[in-house]
Amino acid sequence: MDAALTKSERETLKAIWRLTSNPHPTLQPPADRGARTGDLAASLKLSPATMTATVKKLADRGLAVHTPYHGVELTDAGRRRAMSVVRRHRIVERFLADMLGYSWSEADRLAPTFEHQLPQEVEDRLYAALDRPAICPHGFPIPGVESADLPDMPPLYDLSPGDRAIVALPGSTDPDVAKFLDGLGVRPGVEVEVREKHPFDGPLVVSVDGQDRTIGDRVARQIRVRIGSIPAVETVTSTNHKKRKEPSDHASPR
């Protein structure tokens, strides 16, 4: 499905989707729905001129729309193509974590080095060999074939006392923050329950494996969550994943 796209174009589709689906308050003004080319360039470590040229190519293919002063948005076809890129990335991450023992942060770093060269047949066989996982090592859902979007993943800090959710940590999570959270037991795929939420941007108290843990508002805003409990199929996948990669979990937190 992605054979006609270059690596740069696929990564740009993924970046546009990421910035427009989960806008960061300091990067994405509320009035703008689109992703700024400057933010896209910074996220992909490309020059603004290269980014502008890539966005134009995507627009010419009918995958994106660039409106002056409103940023770049994906078309319906662009969202479906972006989801196929996200799907492949997360399947490759699972392969690296489950089969080769890499930590979730290492899997995120290594996946782009070869995911774009995979034939569709290989992606399909990897997915089947991994027993059709529902989530990636970060705790995010793996899109279905022909999906056009994914469920919202709000920050942990948006939850209220009594809410239960499954933890997901973006690949951009600071290594020191990831190490701190790992020490608290707050890892991708773990279920937490909000016990207390202190006012005026105060900390959260969450229950993790029966233990109350305190997390400051800045860190709690970096953690993404899926509301509800882990489906049975995901529990098996997450347990197997943890057993396989446990020796390298602390080697490169990210």
Q: What would the pLDDT profile of 130-167 be if each residue is shown by its tens digit?
A: 999 999 999 999 999 988 888 889 999 999 999 999 99
Domain locations along the chain: 7-74, 156-248
CATH class of 156-248: mainly beta
pLDDT value of residue 6? 93
Q: How far apart are the C-alpha atoms of 107 and 129, rounded to whole Å?
A: 17
Please say whether the structural domain 7-74 has been given the CATH code 1.10.10.10. yes
Q: pLDDT at position 240, please?
A: 39
pLDDT mean over 105-132: 93
pTM of the complete model: 0.80
**Residue with the larger pLDDT of the pair 239 and 90:** 90
Give the pLDDT score at 244: 39
Q: What percent of the chain has pLDDT over 90?
A: 71
CA 185/CA 182 separation, integer angstroms: 5
Average pLDDT over residues 161-188: 92
> Can you give the pLDDT at residue 137?
94
Judge whether residue 233 has pLDDT over 90. no
Angle, in degrees to the nearest 10, between helices 7-21 and 37-44: 120
Mapping DSSP onto H, E and C, the string for the chain reads: CCCCCCHHHHHHHHHHHHHHHCCCCCCCCCCCCCECHHHHHHHHCCCHHHHHHHHHHHHHCCCEEEECCCEEEECHHHHHHHHHHHHHHHHHHHHHHHHCCCCHHHHHHHHHHCHHHCCHHHHHHHHHHCCCCCECCCCCECCCCCCCCCCCCCEHHHCCCCCEEEEECCCCCCHHHHHHHHHHCCCCCCEEEEEEECCCCCCEEEEECCEEEEECHHHHCCCEEEECCCCHHHHHHHHHHHHHHHHHCCCCCC
Pairing state between β 224-227 and 71-74: unpaired
Q: Give me the percent of the chain exceeding a pLDDT of 70.
A: 84
Closest to 32 in 3D by CA, of 79, 78, 66, 71: 71
> What is the average per-residue pLDDT within 168-175?
89
Task: Give the pLDDT band of residue 229 (cuts 50, 70, 90).
Answer: low
Mean pLDDT of 21-44: 71
Q: Residue 22: what pLDDT?
A: 62
Q: Name every residue whose Cβ is closer than 8 Å to that of residue 224 and which is 6 or more positions away in sequence.
A: 22, 139, 140, 153, 154, 155, 156, 167, 168, 169, 170
Q: Above 50 in pLDDT, residue 61?
A: yes
